[in-house]
Amino acid sequence: MDIHGQVTNCHLELGRTDPEIASLVRAEELLQQDTLRLIPSENYVSAAVLEATGTVLTNKYSEGYPGRRYYEGQQNIDPIEIIARERAQALFGVDHANVQPYSGSPANLAVYLAFARPGDTVLGMSLPMGGHLTHGWGVSATGTWFRGVRYGVRADTGRTDLDEVRELALRERPKMIFCGGTAVPRTVDFAGFGAIAREVGAILVADVSHIAGLIAGGVHPSPVEHVDVVSTTTHKTLRGPRGAMLMCAREHAKAIDKAVFPGLQGGPHNHTTAAIAVALREAAGEDFRVYARQVVANAKRLGEELAARDFDLVSGGTDNHLLLVDLTRRGVPGKIAAKALDRAGIVVNHNTVPFETRSPFDPSGIRIGTPALTSRGLTQEHMVCVARWIDRVVTAAATGAEDRVAAVRQEVRELMSGFPAPGLPV
Ligand code: DSN
286 has catalytic annotation: no
Pocket of ligand 1 (CB under 6 A): 41, 104, 132, 182
Q: Specify the fold of 56-283.
A: Aspartate Aminotransferase; domain 2 (3.40.640)
For residue 292, how far is its CA from the centre of ligand 1 (angstroms)?
Answer: 19
Residues 6+ apart with CB under 8 A from 190: 179, 206, 221, 222, 223, 226, 227
Q: Which of 208, 210, 320 to mutate to test the pocket of ligand 1 (most atoms within 8 A of CB)?
A: 210
Pairing of strands 121-125, 176-179: parallel
Q: Specify the fold of 294-416.
A: Aspartate Aminotransferase, domain 1 (3.90.1150)
For residue 66, how far is its CA from the centre of ligand 1 (angstroms)?
Answer: 30
Atom of ligand 1 nearest to the CA of 39: 4
Residues 6+ apart with CB under 8 A from 78: 66, 67, 69
Of all protein residues, the one whose alpha carbon is nearest to atom 5 of ligand 1 is 182
Whether the CB-CB separation of 188 and 153 falls below 8 Å is answered with: no
70 has catalytic annotation: no
pTM of the model: 0.96
242 has catalytic annotation: yes
Which residue in 26, 29, 42, 61 is the catalytic one?
61
For residue 102, how far is its CA from the centre of ligand 1 (angstroms)?
Answer: 14
Q: What is the DSSP letter of 153?
A: B
Query: What are the pLDDT tens digits along the chain (426 aa)?
Result: 333 434 345 689 999 999 999 999 999 999 999 999 999 999 999 999 999 999 999 999 999 999 999 999 999 999 999 999 999 999 999 999 999 999 999 999 999 999 999 999 999 999 999 999 999 999 999 999 999 999 999 999 999 999 999 999 999 999 999 999 999 999 999 999 999 999 999 999 999 999 999 999 999 999 999 999 999 999 999 999 999 999 999 999 999 999 999 999 999 999 999 999 999 999 999 999 999 999 999 999 999 999 999 999 999 999 999 999 999 999 999 999 999 999 999 999 999 999 999 998 999 999 999 999 999 999 999 999 999 999 999 999 999 899 999 999 999 999 999 999 998 876
Atom of ligand 1 nearest to the CA of 210: 5
Radius of gyration of the chain (CA): 22
28 has catalytic annotation: no
Of all protein residues, the one whose alpha carbon is nearest to atom 4 of ligand 1 is 41
Half-sphere CA count of 107, side-chain side, radius 13 A: 28
Whether the CB-CB separation of 226 and 204 falls below 8 Å is answered with: yes
For residue 182, how far is its CA from the centre of ligand 1 (angstroms)?
Answer: 6
The domains of the chain are located at 56-283, 294-416
Crossing angle, helix 286-308 and helix 270-283, to 10 degrees? 80
For residue 104, how far is its CA from the centre of ligand 1 (angstroms)?
Answer: 9
Q: What gap in Å lies between CA 227 and CA 197, rounded to an integer?
A: 8
Atom of ligand 1 nearest to the CA of 105: 7
Of all protein residues, the one whose alpha carbon is nearest to atom 1 of ligand 1 is 41
Domains 56-283 and 294-416 share a fold: no
Pairing of strands 203-207, 176-179: parallel
CA-to-CA separations, 300 to 20, 278, 313, 314, 384, in angstroms, rounded: 41, 29, 11, 13, 11
Whether the CB-CB separation of 278 and 48 falls below 8 Å is answered with: yes
